[in-house]
Amino acid sequence: MSFLITGGAGYIGAHVVRALALAGEEVVAYDDLSTGQATRLPEGVPFVQGSVHDRGLLDRTLAEHAVTTVVHLAARKEAAESVRQPLRYYRENLHGLQVLLEACRGARVERFVFSSSAAVYGAPTADLVMEDHPCLPVSPFGETKLAGEWLVRAAGRAYGIATACLRCFNVAGAALPELADNETADLVPMTFGHLAAGEPPRIFGEDYPTGDGTCERDFVHVEDVAEAHLAAARTLAERPIPEHLTLNIGRGEGVSVRALVRAIAEITGHGRLTPLVMPRRPGDPARVVACPDQAAKHLAWTPARGVEEMITSAWAGWLRNA
């Protein structure tokens, strides 16, 4: 297979590129560098700077690299920002996907893996969320991911493309310090920033209907997420006819925000700082934790790394980048 990774210079995208390169696959990274960094890419991996709205550049890239499989990660991803800027999110996340799928159809791409999100579930009622749980997103970001899944599935059926939508839960950690997440809106790096400045870490809301009143999330290591994308592409390649998979990518274990912030403070040597409780953020559901059984069944994939490894690896990256 020959892979095109959109958003390939981003946090998750660079880890997917690395996983593919280590597995011996041919891969080209595609990114507009609005948030990505080309320095994240392994030496020798071709890089194309461009937007997924640029049909001409997509056509040339797919043809020049004889791409057979696309992994699509390029997207805006912050729920609270999407509440403030819904038009931007629909333009970037849905129109860009449409243009990319049109290019894939023209290039006769055989497989398409869409990096979706647990945000499609909204505020689920189940303790562990299965893929058939009703999808009622509570933010424009989640809406664009759900509509993206519909579009990917419909295009796959219509044009004979094998497709997979991977609903990634809360991604953290780093394979290497230089690949760490730099987005300060994400909980782990945001907490690092406050602690390093000698400030108390922030908790957004403590009146949720959970064990300690703070949100509960399923945190999964970014290396495990990258390996799941590779496993999905290879699984689609093994099937005799094009099919569609929708799978949760998580650990199946809930961690409260308060517990995670406490663990971060202790691991980084800032355990004496008491968290500052802030108002709830718009678009934050109380508990979202995956049932990962279907990913294990269909991909033979299970996450191998725990929360402590996520924190320590992310902290090493934050120190390097700071």
On whether residue 81 sits in a domain, the answer given is: yes
Confidence (pLDDT) at 17: 98
Residue keyed to tokens 């038009």: 87
pLDDT in tens, 3-13: 999 999 999 99
On whether residue 297 sits in a domain, the answer given is: no
Q: How many domains does the chain have?
A: 2
On whether residue 50 sits in a domain, the answer given is: yes
Q: What is the mean pLDDT of residues 57-69?
A: 98
Same domain, yes or no, for 202 and 156?
A: no
Question: What does the alpha-carbon distance between residue 259 and residue 117 come to, in Å, rounded to a whole number?
Answer: 23
Range of the domain at 109: 2-172+219-249
Same domain, yes or no, for 203 and 83?
A: no
Q: Say which DSSP state 251 is in.
A: -
Q: What is the mean pLDDT of residues 157-172?
A: 97
On whether residue 296 sits in a domain, the answer given is: no
Same domain, yes or no, for 53 and 183?
A: no
111 touches 237 (CB < 8 A):
yes
* Least trusted range by pLDDT, from 79-88, 118-127, 140-149, 234-243: 234-243
Confidence (pLDDT) at 185: 74
Same domain, yes or no, for 89 and 235?
A: yes
69 touches 1 (CB < 8 A):
yes
Same domain, yes or no, for 46 and 143?
A: yes
> DSSP labels for 126-173?
SSSB-TTS--B-SSHHHHHHHHHHHHHHHHHHHHT-EEEEEEE-EEE-
Same domain, yes or no, for 151 and 26?
A: yes
4 touches 110 (CB < 8 A):
no
pLDDT confidence bin for 224, thresholds 50/70/90: very high
| CATH code for position 270 | 3.90.25.10
Same domain, yes or no, for 117 and 190?
A: no
- The proportion of the chain whose per-residue pLDDT surpasses 90, expressed as a percent, equals 89
Same domain, yes or no, for 22 and 122?
A: yes
Confidence (pLDDT) at 299: 96
Same domain, yes or no, for 99 and 212?
A: no
On whether residue 195 sits in a domain, the answer given is: yes
Q: What is the mean pLDDT of residues 209-237?
A: 97
On whether residue 298 sits in a domain, the answer given is: no
On whether residue 294 sits in a domain, the answer given is: no
Q: What is the mean pLDDT of residues 307-314?
A: 97
On whether residue 293 sits in a domain, the answer given is: no
Cα-Cα-Cα-Cα torsion 96, 94, 150, 4, nearest 10 degrees, comes to: 30
Same domain, yes or no, for 44 and 88?
A: yes
Is it the case that residue 239 has pLDDT exceeding 90?
no
pLDDT in tens, 80-127: 899 999 999 999 999 999 999 999 999 999 999 999 999 999 999 899
Mean pLDDT (the chain, rounded): 95
| CATH code for position 165 | 3.40.50.720
Same domain, yes or no, for 208 and 227?
A: no
pLDDT in tens, 183-202: 767 889 999 999 988 999 99
Neighbours of 160 (CB within 10 A): 12
Bridge-partner residues for 72, per DSSP? 6, 114
Same domain, yes or no, for 225 and 213?
A: no
Q: Is the pTM of this model over 0.85?
A: yes
